[in-house]
A and B are shown apart, each in its own frame.
Chain A
Amino acid sequence: MRRLLAAVGVMLVAASLVTACTVGDFDGKTRIALVMSHMTNSFTTTVANAAVAEGRELGLEVTVFDGNSDAATQISQIESAVAQAYDGILVEPVSKEGIAPGLKAANEAQIPIATIVQQAEQQERAASYIGGDDTAAGELQMTQVVEAIGEQGAVAVLYGPMGSDGQLQRKAGYDAVLAEHPGVSIVLEQTANWDTAEALTVTENWLSTGTHIDAIVAQNDSMALGAMKALSNAGRDKQVHVSGVDATDDGVASIRDGGMAGTVSQDTAGIGALAVDTMDKLIRGEEVDAVNYTQAVWITIDNVDALDSDG
């Protein structure tokens, strides 16, 4: 009896999963699948929410899939979107190389597919790219930092996961700026894997060494906030210039409160909206640009209030 109940339970769950997947509305509405790398931070949720909102505006149905930071999951999601005959697919790749089979599947089914936030290694298989330019974001951030510390001084850098595209490209931007400013040097560098708690610990350890630092350059706001907390614990938050990238809600709040000095906004919500606009055009057979960069803007206490609340 127990076993029977268990079996029925499992089947019910399985059945509900299947129906959840297949009962799409075939009421003639254009359907776009948005395959995100994950849905676990303000950046990705903002992009996805903006995309869904833009879809509602245009009368499209945007369905969000959570790739769980796993390339294989993402490929399966693209394949099932193809199988369910979505009209278009937007994908934020977990990894540059990882989504090749997904792109191929969409190409073969002749369903338009575009990448967002990060380009794929086989970008020629995608119809378009919509997102920020991480190298430009890195350049903007470092340019502002160099200027703020008077083109002279010691900088500590908190990186994202080593070898990830965001880390490499933003760093490429830093290096380009630093090459032109020999007075500024990186004295400390470490990864904190985009994580606030890790950045806090690393910064505590840096401060503990007594190495002089003029600025902490974090590759995202979460890490910048961790650095900020370590500095304020040590009573040194007014002495060090701290900046991040992404203009997340908490990052922006910190700037408003006089904490972080600045952040680079890549118009996070704009990426989601522009992605849906572009896909709409692709579905209707219009020409679109191969690359659609959103504008990177340097946000400080001076212009923070002009930023959209969903920035």
Chain B
Amino acid sequence: MNAVIQRVRGWSIRDAGILLVFLALVFGLWLVSPGHHFLSVNNVLLILVQTTINGILAMGMMFVIISGEIDLSVGSTIGLAGVVAAMLAHPGEYPVIVPILAALLVGALVGLLNGIGVAYGAIPSFIVTLGTMTAVRGLALIVSGGAPIFNVSETFEAVASARIGRFPVMAIYLLVIFLVCAFVLRRTVYGRRVYAVGGNPVAAEVSGVNVKRSKVSVFVIAGLLAGFCGVLLASRTISGAPTAGESYELDAIAAVVIGGVSMSGGRGRASGVLIGALMIAVIANGLDILGIDANFQRVVKGAIIVTAVLLDVKARRRK
């Protein structure tokens, strides 16, 4: 019981704030959607599916940002991992686990490279990942020959589109990965180290945390999850497009920021990030349903990002 109270107290005004904004948005869209269709079971499941890729990507980004860094390369990693997965997923060639593992390996390698560059090369993560973002996108185009890879097996297609009853398996991936990330961050020594490294790297070092190794590990997590997103996107679109995932890193960063993770590191929680990702999907879904054009959606998304950070700054001043 005490633990529960503790947890509730742990929620700052700002965490509750973002939840309220989210609920208000959902309520508003429910009110104005034709026939209150927005909250139909089907549409809610659809929103979960549409949140999944950005949500998983944002979980990886969260580790990186909490440790005080940034990863711009995850969108390109999705492209390369998706191409590699699709190339290994033609019908009758390999069991479906092969393309999945290959994509995860690609993602982890990109992450490792980022991590080594940041931790041991002492290059700012913005620069390292800007470099890998460009290079990895180039690799995706080279490997694929500049055109989407299609003709994937039905088993590979099922990775993203399978359903258990009515419940889409995509949403299960999101929920499982969210729960694991939340647990690791809040309840493990490793998670506490990530916060420590982002909050005050010098203090962390002094108290015996291997800062360099921690930094490498967060980039590997981000890369691994981006690799998995590559599989999901290729499976969902039944093709590995070398241009897939372009600017996805920005949506992931947006979800993390809306979710209340501090861009300067050391602060933030997985539940906030999940709400941030849901918020982005809800905006797109809701405005599509209302028939509002996509250019307007960008304006709304931008306004919400800035508002979220504004709330963050205000809440911190109050402390």
- Interface size of B by Cβ–Cβ distance < 8 Å? 34
* A-B interface pairs (CB < 8 A), number: 88
A95 contacts which chain B residues (CB < 8 A)?
Answer: none
Q: Is the CB of A205 within 8 A of B289?
A: yes
Q: From residue 214 to 257 of chain B, which have CB atoms closer than 8 A to chain A?
A: 233, 236-239, 241-244
Contacts from B to A (Cβ < 8 Å)? 34-35, 37, 40, 42-43, 46, 49-50, 141, 145-148, 150-151, 161, 233, 236-239, 241-244, 284-285, 288-289, 291, 293-295
Measured CA separation A53–B136 after assembly (Å): 28
A307 at the interface (CB under 8 A from B): no
Given contacts A162-B295, A202-B288, A208-B37, contact A250 B243 (CB under 8 A): no
Residue in B49, B151, B236 whose CB lies within 8 Å of A197? B236
A60 at the interface (CB under 8 A from B): no
Q: Which 3 A-B pairs have the closest CB atoms?
A: A205-B288, A42-B147, A250-B150
Given contacts A188-B291, A208-B46, A210-B37, contact A201 B284 (CB under 8 A): yes
- Label chain A's interface by main secondary structure: helix
Q: Is the CB of B239 within 8 A of A196?
A: yes
Q: Is the CB of A205 within 8 A of B285?
A: yes
Measured CA separation A226–B161 after assembly (Å): 13
Q: Is the CB of B288 within 8 A of A250?
A: no
Binary contact track A40-80/B, C-beta < 8 Å → 1, others 0: 11101110000000000000000000000000000000000
11 A-B residue pairs with Cβ-Cβ distance under 8 Å, sorted by A, are: A41-B147, A162-B293, A162-B295, A196-B148, A197-B233, A204-B50, A210-B35, A222-B148, A225-B237, A229-B238, A249-B147
**Closest beta carbon of chain A to B68's beta carbon, Å:** 26
**Closest beta carbon of chain B to A7's beta carbon, Å:** 17
Q: Is the CB of A229 within 8 A of B237?
A: yes
Given contacts A40-B243, A196-B148, contact A208 B42 (CB under 8 A): yes
Given contacts A209-B34, A253-B150, contact A40 B242 (CB under 8 A): yes
B150 contacts which chain A residues (CB < 8 A)?
Answer: 249-250, 253
Measured CA separation A251–B150 after assembly (Å): 10
Q: Is the CB of B161 within 8 A of A233?
A: yes
**Closest beta carbon of chain B to A44's beta carbon, Å:** 7
A143 at the interface (CB under 8 A from B): no
